[in-house]
Amino acid sequence: MSAPLPTPLLGIVADDFTGATDIAAMLAARGMRAVQTIGVPQPGETVEADAIVVALKSRTAPAAEAVAQSRAALAWLREAGCRQFFFKYCSTFDSTDEGNIGPVAEALLADLGAGFALACPAFPANNRSVYAGHLFVGTRLLNESGMENHPLTPMKDADLVRVLGRQTTAPVGLVPFMSVRQGAAAIRDAMTRLAEQGRRFAIVDAVGNEDLMAIGAAAASHALITGGSGVAMGLPENFRASGLLPARDDAMDLPAVAGHAAVLSGSCSRATLMQVGHARSLFPVLEIDPLANPNEDAMTQAALDWARPQLGERPVVIAASAPPERVAAIQQALGRETAGALIERTLARIAEGLVAFGVRRLVVAGGETSGAVVSRLGAKRLRIGHEIAPGVPWTLAEGTGPTLKLALKSGNFGGPAFFAEAFETA
């Protein structure tokens, strides 16, 4: 008989794909073997990890749908044996008065039979801090940070007690910085008092990593924690302190994968444009021009014909990325959504072709682009490895046929040399 799989400790429900990778990388860097699943796994599916992050696409879904998806994820994580649960949302608290942070948090709390959960999106390393319940991005209040103009979740109020209060049925409390600064015991006392007063949620102030560590310690016995990746920082230590998690220095080790290397870029964000520019002096780069021939089959075939003779240790780079004026011209000619979907489908099909040619290490730039590639390749899970840049780890994809290493980069992440740096470590 084979030894039983070690049961996971922490189960995370993440409201989007790159946010899921972010918290998984945070936990892996602090000694928990972490796996991100693409959507809710099948009943009975087993995943060997200390922390399992179920990546949903629920951030901007209708609230009822987000609640249903999140409850299904929680049910699977409970079945898998997790002991503590985390609802991960964005560190800019992306939501509307209809949800989805409040409705999802209330539903998860009810399913767990718990009475109270903290809410803390602070992530000081990324310039997100919470003081007096107000969320700051750098030195700006959230509602003056640019987030007030977000197309889907405009954040016009920085007072998170008020924001979350509008999304929940019970009043929301605050654990002020005064208490947080005094450490875990004071935070625990403050949360107990708020729970006794009938608060089911409390925004917790935090401006530095030491605050997040103290909050994590104070929440050791909580069934549910809600927040950004930052507040997950203190949780691995709780599991180690209680003897559930061995000290690991290999949590981020992935097996070596031999095979050709490639980069696919569908991001037009400034950081990615710099990275593609930088790559030109190092690697063969093909620019896909959807205006020249906006035909998926033709663009896919041309890119694969170009790439095939050049594949090897040195990555080939295939990019649809273009500066804003070029993107505007393409969108005007084809329509914004049609252009986006055409390029996503084309890059996903190129990825599939490259894998058929023996590419096994693949960097994808762009959040939506990554989603399209991952689903085309059939990846079910990503085992989290070392970070190439903050928030962007190498991952080992499972469910793709041949084993692949994937690095999925949200547009604005990484420095100019990101692509070269990625392949130095894979």
The minimum distance between CB 351 and ligand ADP, in angstroms, equals: 13
Contact positions with ligand ADP (CB under 6 A) in 14-53: none
The interface with ligand ADP within residues 252-281 (CB under 6 A) comprises 266-269, 272
Tell which residue, 199, 204, 197, has the closest CA to residue 218: 204
d(CA 163, CA 133): 10
Place of tokens 């950004």: 228
Q: Binding ligand ADP by CB under 6 A: which of 330, 355, 362, 406?
A: 330
Which of 94, 205, 211, 344 touches ligand ADP (CB under 6 A)? 344
Q: What is the C-alpha separation between 238 and 101, in angstroms, rounded?
A: 25
Does position 300 interact with ligand ADP (CB under 6 A)? The reply is no
Kindly report the number of other CB atoms within 10 A of residue 405's CB atom: 24
Among 302, 327, 417, 420, binds ligand ADP (CB under 6 A): 327
Nearest Cα to Cα of residue 408 among 378, 379, 371, 383: 371
Residue 226 in tokens: 């809600």
Query: What backbone phi and psi angles, to 5 degrees, belong to 168?
Result: -125, 165
Residue at shortest CB range from ligand ADP: 411
Binding mask 393-422 for ligand ADP (x = CB under 6 A): -----------------xx-----------
| Residue 266 three-state SS | coil
60 scored as a contact of ligand ADP (CB under 6 A):
no
**Total residues at the site for ligand ADP (CB under 6 A)?**
21
Of 209 and 331, which CB lies nearer to ligand ADP in the complex structure?
331
How far is the C-alpha of 408 from the C-alpha of 393, rounded, in Å?
Answer: 8
- Output DSSP code: residue 290: T
Is 367 near ligand ADP (CB under 6 A)?
yes
Whose CA is closest to 376, among 342, 403, 410, 353? 353
Collapsing DSSP states into helix, strand and coil, what is residue 302? Answer: helix
In the complex, the smallest distance separating the C-beta of residue 284 from ligand ADP, rounded to whole angstroms, is 19
Selected range binding ligand ADP among 125-133, 142-150, 326-334, 395-403, rule: CB under 6 A: 326-334
Among 343, 379, 384, 388, binds ligand ADP (CB under 6 A): 343
Quick one: which of 368, 380, 416, 421 contacts ligand ADP (CB under 6 A)?
A: 368
By the rule CB under 6 A, 339 interacts with ligand ADP: yes
Identify whether 100 is preceded by a cis peptide bond (ω within 30 of 0): yes
The full DSSP string for 124-144 is GGGTEEEETTEEEETTEEGGG
Does the protein bind ligand ADP through residue 307 (CB under 6 A)?
Answer: no
CB nearer to ligand ADP: pick between 337 and 424: 337
Q: How many CB atoms lie within 10 A of CB 420?
A: 16
* Distance between CA atoms of residues 255 and 272, nearest Å: 28
Local structure of residue 148 (DSSP, 8 states):
G
- Look-up: residue for tokens 């928030």? 391
Nearest-angstrom CA–CA distance, 309 and 122: 48
Residue 373 binds ligand ADP, judged by CB under 6 A: no
**Closest distance to ligand ADP from the beta carbon of 353 (Å):** 17
Scanning 125-133, 171-179, 367-375, 391-399 for contacts with ligand ADP by CB under 6 A, the matching segment is 367-375
Query: x/- string (CB under 6 A) for ligand ADP, residues 215-254?
Result: ----------------------------------------
- Residue 77 vs 408, nearer CB to ligand ADP: 408
CA dist list (Å): 205 to 67, 120, 348: 26, 7, 42
The residues that touch ligand ADP, with contacts defined as CB under 6 A, are 266-269, 272, 320-322, 327, 330-331, 339-340, 343-344, 366-369, 410-411
